[in-house]
Structure 1
Amino acid sequence: MTAASAGGDRRAFRANWPARAGLLALVLYVLYAGQILDLSWDRFVFGLDQGGRFLSRLVPPDFTRWSLLLDGLLESLQIAIIATVLGVAVSLPVGLCAARNLMPWWVSTPVRAFIAVCRSFHPIIVAIVFVKAIGFGALAGILALVVASIGFVAKLFAEAIEEISMKQVEAVRATGASFANVVTMGVLPQVLARFIGFATYQLDSNLRNSTMVGIVGGGGIGGTLFAAFQRFDYDFLCAILIAIIALIMLGELLATRLRAIFQ
């Protein structure tokens, strides 16, 4: 019989006081931040009342201006597809250069810094920059989504390359193959399925983001959505929201089918 079982400390697990102190500090900070941000139950209740009135004005949806709605959806779809194709095409060499198991540090480090810059800003912020630089229109939205695509796909592609088995790469190198052949025969076969998955997910993401960049002048259905908000045209706004949901669901089905084909 040990001392603990004879009447000492019978607890199966000792208290983790640092974890408890950290949890207490987190709860106190949340309460402090809520007070600073003026979060109150009265404002929440008032918001529910206002939200109910807003929702009541959304129905029934107005689809009479279907031509304007269709034009915006097609433009958003075109923006998403073009941005995905360009972003994925650029992400392939960028991700390859960022892989530390294939490239020296003086190549991978600055490329990784470039990817980090692309990931640092939300697509809407990037779209505002491009709108100021080249003006309103679909080109600004496409460029903003290309930057977002590079930041996401290139990072994941580089990480996928770093996880490959180097035995296959060394076997191809042993034949005296060039670097391009090493990449084609030793690297891409191991990451192709994952790269297709990254690309299809980015297409789905760009479909969603293409509706947001239009709000700041990047083209697409977002501009129509913002105009409906400004005119208090809530029944047409509801029709736009339904159309956006249908577009996103269609993009999700397409992405799932593409992943099933290539995997």
Structure 2
Amino acid sequence: MAGIDRQHPFRQSWALRLGWLALAAYVVYGFGAMDLNWARFVDGLGHGGRLLERMFPPNFSRWEILLHDLVESLQIAIIASVAGIFISLFVGLLAARNLMPALVTSPARVLIAVCRTFHPVIIAILFVKAVGFGALAGILTLVVASVGFIAKLFAEAIEEISLKQVEAIRATGAGFVSVILFAVLPQVFSRFIGFSTYQLDSNLRNSTMVGLVGAGGLGGTLFAAFQRFDYDFVTAILITIIALILVGEALSNTARRIFQ
């Protein structure tokens, strides 16, 4: 191809070299500013080894608590995923610039951006303050997180469709709802399923994390176990979380086989 130096495909310039040098200098400065050094790392390995000794063998004697929190985390994730995906269908449709006027897409995209702005833990803290401790705060948190992620992907998928089918359906005199059902959704349905299953998997992980601030699920029990230095029970909780994620993988794979 013209314009490519085959003998020196990665030719360096002085500006690029200075950029790499500045990056390396900043990394060294960052290590010093945050007091990161080899001695601290080696010392941390010793503490980590002692921690692992106290974490094993795992203690499953309080399996009733684990089972209750596992079911609660699963319920939080599934309810939040269903509600979030349902809302995202409408928000994503409103945000699609090839189907809606700017007067409609702009507020929808602002809503998506706001939902994506904050980490779920921050949103969970706000909902815990608003509705109190428990599963409701966790569900509302994950609904907001789902809308921020899924609605954006839905809108982008709709914007990539072929408008020929849309025009063909409109030519028959069909209304807006029929256009969506018979011209838009068939083109993006498989992608919607993929996005939705990924969000379910993400909500399963986040349902354990938001519990750290009191939004229900396994996270609250995990935080309490750390505070009590009950490390063998911590290991049991972590194994339970792994089991929860594996359940999510199984649900996602089943959904893909059914709908794709």
User: What TM-score do the two structures reach when normalised by structure 2?
Assistant: 0.95
Q: Please say if 1:55 is aligned against 2:71.
A: no
5+ long unaligned stretches in structure 1? 1-8
Q: 1:92 aligns with which of 81, 89, 92?
A: 89
Which residue does 2:240 correspond to in 1? Answer: 243
Specify the code of the residue in structure 2 equivalent to 1:118.
Answer: C
User: Does 249-258 or 183-192 show the bigger shift?
Assistant: 249-258
Q: Distance in 1 between matches of 2:159 and 2:13?
A: 36
**Structural mapping, 1:1-263, within 5 Å:** 12-13=8-9, 14-263=11-260
Q: Distance in 1 between matches of 2:198 and 2:91?
A: 18
Specify the code of the residue in structure 2 equivalent to 1:82.
Answer: I
Q: Distance in 2 between matches of 1:208 and 1:12?
A: 46
> Structure 1 pair 48/104, CA: closer, same or farther in 2 (3 Å)?
same
* Aligned residues between the structures: 255
Based on CA coordinates, which of the two structures has the bigger radius of gyration? 1
Specify the code of the residue in structure 1 equivalent to 2:35.
Answer: D
CA offsets, 1:132-165, max 9 Å, x none?
1111010000000000000010000000001111
Specify the code of the residue in structure 2 equivalent to 1:159.
Answer: E
Specify the code of the residue in structure 2 equivalent to 1:95.
Answer: G
Percent same amino acid among aligned pairs?
68
5+ long unaligned stretches in structure 2? none
Q: Secondary structure at the match of 2:55?
A: coil
User: What TM-score do the two structures reach when normalised by structure 1?
Assistant: 0.94
Specify the code of the residue in structure 2 equivalent to 1:31.
Answer: V
CA offsets, 1:153-182, max 9 Å, x none?
000000000111111111111111111111
Which residue does 1:5 correspond to in 2? Answer: none
